[in-house]
Amino acid sequence: MLLLQQFVNSIMLGSVYVTVAVAFTLTIGILNFLNFTIPTLFMIAGMMGWALSYYGLPLGLSGPLPWPIALMGAVVLTIIASLIVERFTFRYLKTKYGDSTEHAIPLVSSLGFLLVLENLVRIGYGTDSRRFEGPDADLTMNIGGIFVRVPQLVSLAVTVVIVLGLTMMIKHSRIGRGLRAIAENPDAANILGVDTRRIVPVVFILTGLLCGLAGALFAINYGEVSPAMGEDIGTKAIAGMVIGGLGSIWGAVLGGLIVGLIEMMTVHFFGADTVQVMVWGALLLTLLAYPSGLLGHNTIGKGKL
């Protein structure tokens, strides 16, 4: 019974990683771009949610906002931030020579953005964690002997809806077809009539939305946000993406859940200190031994397609 409880806990934990992992995998799969700002966007969502509910709008336009409004505002801000990132990392990409480091230009830009955004938040709000006054996070349900916290259940439900929604959109909508065309062959996509200038930002909007939702759900679940909250989640999400296979949404789901499981098991058997080594070690081994991961494709991320 205890094991089952542990298992359920790790699924709950994993579903937080899944959403962020999906954001990573979507961007890599479609744009061949490892977007390091994703964990930062997640953090911005959390911090902005807190700031809006604590301070209200800037320049004294309102008092502290109620938490649902604050979170929605945070998601919107995150999407805007993501579009700003798009403007400066991806919009200007010109591969002139096709050499190995040119494909890393957006990656490097995203590292630059990571530094800018994270440190601006630190400058604005300091480095302390903040309490987020959301709904009652301790509401627990008892399902056949297993205890599940309601906010976690909500997160899981939201994650499932997101993943299913995304998969359907990519398979059946016109935008989805455009995204798939760009993923296959960016140059051909242009010639075939896909308006890349309009479709590429969609990826960034989705990224912002996913990170925003993940950050909001995190704030609700744990009641605490800090400028450092992106780092830990980022690690686990990247690991989830790689283990599940780059470019595969279901891979990100599977990978995120597996990482949650690894974390639970490690804490149970070895203590919390070794989680870092375990997760990154698993990631490293996957990269070296089986880089396509469980469900991924061979051609993504290799630098030269």
Contact residues for another protein (CB under 8 A)? 28, 32, 34, 88-89, 92, 96-97, 99-109, 111-120, 122-126, 231, 235, 238, 242, 246, 273-274, 276-277, 280-281, 283-284, 287-288, 291, 300-304
Asked if 40 and 291 count as a contact pair (C-beta separation under 8 A), the reply is no
Pick 123 or 191: Cβ nearer another protein: 123
Residue 214: closest CA among 235, 193, 234, 184: 234
**Least distance in Å: CB of 183 to another protein?**
14
Asked if 137 and 227 count as a contact pair (C-beta separation under 8 A), the reply is no
Pick 70 or 156: Cβ nearer another protein: 70
Pick 15 or 235: Cβ nearer another protein: 235
**Least distance in Å: CB of 278 to another protein?**
8
- Say whether 304 sits in a helix, a strand or coil: coil
**Least distance in Å: CB of 106 to another protein?**
8
**Least distance in Å: CB of 285 to another protein?**
9
- Say whether 225 sits in a helix, a strand or coil: strand
- 287 vs 153, 213, 233, 234, CA distance in Å? 32, 28, 19, 17
Pick 188 or 284: Cβ nearer another protein: 284
Handedness of CA 43, 71, 14, 135 (dihedral sign): positive
Place of tokens 């993406």: 241
Pick 111 or 294: Cβ nearer another protein: 111
How large is the greatest C-alpha to C-alpha distance in the chain, in angstroms?
Answer: 61
**Least distance in Å: CB of 173 to another protein?**
27
Asked if 53 and 175 count as a contact pair (C-beta separation under 8 A), the reply is no
Pick 53 or 155: Cβ nearer another protein: 53
- Checking phi first, is residue 144 left (phi over 0); if not, alpha (psi -120 to 50) or beta? left
Q: CA end-to-end span of the chain, whole Å?
A: 49
At position 246, the amino acid (one-letter code) is L
Residue 283: closest CA among 241, 233, 248: 241
Pick 109 or 207: Cβ nearer another protein: 109
**Least distance in Å: CB of 247 to another protein?**
11
**What is the C-alpha to C-alpha distance for residues 284 and 226, in angstroms, rounded to an integer?**
28
**Least distance in Å: CB of 300 to another protein?**
8
Pick 207 or 235: Cβ nearer another protein: 235
Structure tokens given for 96: 């002139």
**Least distance in Å: CB of 182 to another protein?**
17
Q: Where are the beta strands (DSSP E) in 116-248?
A: 130-131, 140-143, 146-149, 224-225
